[in-house]
């Protein structure tokens, strides 16, 4: 059986302008591999209603799980929550439980719980909250879409909170063989191995180090025996 | 007049599995800002024919320029070139000029110009080559799609080669104001400023440093006077 599929939607002008370097995607990718969920697409879009709505609809339809990051803070350019709601034609309004969490948090911190911060209590109808142990403002899950913060510490904490509730598949194992030859030197044999092991994936990644070049071959699959067998075959090929 | 728009398509299982951390996107984003071209979408897809074909078609239609990275090497999983050709229903075959470049390169390097390496001379009908001063194998431009390598040094060199041929717009200027207050403390005023300056964009990015928290406000726009004016307004607001 194939593993469940996932997509990520990163929302934010700051990523597309190069101001901020996204790190959530890499964290999500590594976490999903461990959980046996295949990340099959990532999209990065600006803080634009139509861009968010279209991407949420497309990814929610094509994948089992969708994870969004960014755009759920208190400022005017944080428009992810309302546009995820619009993508599913759902109303969104300030909700009591989210409001209570924020009210308690700001009271304890001695900070003004102003109109801008109250926006963070807006939750689409029917969504479940995702706890935010870092800065209180919750994310939410609606249909198969997990709406989470862009701040990396918060994103990580929210992801850790939702993961146990997701049905995973078999973990994909990977093994790397480092070769001191060019990618092109091994490419023909690698192609033949890929045909011999149709359930495995073979990646080849050239590198340069201290003026020398080489290639890392990464073999990935769900069967440890097959991965090991392919690595052994590779070693035999290279030695001949 | 709005600036030309651009999209990026990153092709590669290794990015989606978390094995490799993409750096080309960030480089492209910063380079396009300088050139006055707005990066409006990024998609990351696996080494899968349909995923590549669909993304190339969608992005080529919605944006003025498309830049791809990855999947043009010598191995069996390098399938970007043939699927970009298929996206436009174009034939692809080994072409004399690309073949000559590679033949000369491998002869000089004393390396076998084998079948796998010859794959890198396959160019869709009607494409223009993009020079690769690092490892010879060329990229190509077909319609509005620039097909480039995934290896960061090669991607950078190819991008530098194609940029002078692209019509750019006005450079977007940006200025950052560092505030020692929470994002929510300034959000209401920021929203009002965004209304006052409809041609500018205002981003707000919370940070934590040495246990203190603060917010960087980034004002972006094409008019230096307006950006400066907004920053002055912001300073006034914060001091009151």
pLDDT tens for residues A153-191? Answer: 999 999 999 998 888 778 888 899 999 888 888 898 999
Give chain A's length. Answer: 240
pLDDT tens for residues B114-133? Answer: 999 999 999 999 999 999 99
∠ CA(A211), CA(A216), CA(A218), 5° rounding?
Answer: 170
A20/B205 touch (CB, cutoff 8 Å), yes or no: yes
Token reading at B31: 């380079």
With beta carbons under 8 A apart, name residues in chain B contacting A16.
29, 38-42
The reported pLDDT for the residue numbered A162 is 93
Model pTM above 0.95: no
3-class SS string, B217-234: EEEEECCHHHHHHHHHHH
Give the mean pLDDT of B224-239.
92
Between A and B, how many residue pairs show a Cβ–Cβ distance under 8 A? 177
Q: Residue B188 is nearest to which of A29, A114, A191, comparing CB atoms?
A: A114
Q: Inform me whether the pLDDT recorded for B219 exceeds 80.
A: yes
A185/B151 touch (CB, cutoff 8 Å), yes or no: no
B116/A51 touch (CB, cutoff 8 Å), yes or no: no
Residue A194: closest CA among A158, A145, A160, A234: A234
DSSP E strands, A136-194: 139-142, 145-148, 173-179
Give the mean pLDDT of B69-96.
97
Token reading at A50: 């139509």
The reported pLDDT for the residue numbered B167 is 80
**Band of pLDDT at residue A12, cut at 50, 70 and 90:** very high
Token reading at A230: 């392919």
- Of the listed ranges A119-133, B36-50, B80-94, B190-204, the least confidently predicted one is B190-204
**Band of pLDDT at residue A238, cut at 50, 70 and 90:** confident
Name residues 173-232 of chain A within 8 A of B (Cβ).
174, 182-188, 190-191, 194, 201-206, 218, 220
A114/B187 touch (CB, cutoff 8 Å), yes or no: yes
The reported pLDDT for the residue numbered A234 is 92
- Of the listed ranges A100-114, B66-80, B107-121, B208-222, the least confidently predicted one is B208-222
Give the mean pLDDT of B150-154.
94
Name residues 67-106 of chain A within 8 A of B (Cβ).
73-77
Give the percent of chain A with pLDDT over 70.
100
With beta carbons under 8 A apart, name residues in chain B contacting A181.
none
pLDDT tens for residues A66-87? Answer: 999 999 999 999 999 999 999 9
């Amino acid at each position: 059986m194939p593993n469940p599929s996932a997509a990520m939607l990163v929302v934010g002008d700051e990523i597309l302008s190069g101001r901020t370097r996204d790190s959530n995607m890499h964290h999500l990718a590594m976490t999903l591999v461990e959980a046996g969920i295949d990340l099959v697409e990532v999209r990065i879009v600006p803080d634009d209603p139509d861009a968010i709505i279209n991407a949420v609809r497309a990814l929610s339809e094509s994948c089992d799980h969708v994870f969004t990051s960014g755009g759920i803070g208190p400022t005017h350019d944080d428009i992810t929550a309302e546009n995820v709601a619009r993508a599913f034609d759902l109303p969104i309004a300030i909700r009591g439980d989210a409001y209570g969490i924020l009210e308690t948090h700001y009271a304890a911190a001695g900070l003004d719980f102003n109109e801008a911060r109250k926006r963070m209590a807006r939750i689409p109808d029917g969504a479940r909250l995702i706890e935010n142990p870092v800065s209180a403002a919750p994310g939410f899950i609606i249909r198969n879409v997990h709406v989470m913060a862009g701040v990396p510490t918060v994103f990580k904490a929210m992801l850790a909170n939702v993961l146990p509730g997701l049905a995973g598949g078999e973990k994909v194992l990977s093994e790397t063989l480092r070769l001191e030859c060019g990618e092109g030197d091994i490419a023909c044999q690698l192609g033949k191995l890929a045909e011999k092991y149709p359930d495995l994936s073979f990646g080849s990644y050239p590198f340069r180090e201290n003026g020398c070049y080489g290639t890392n071959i990464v073999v990935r699959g769900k069967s440890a025996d097959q991965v090991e067998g392919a690595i052994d075959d590779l070693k035999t090929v290279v030695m001949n």
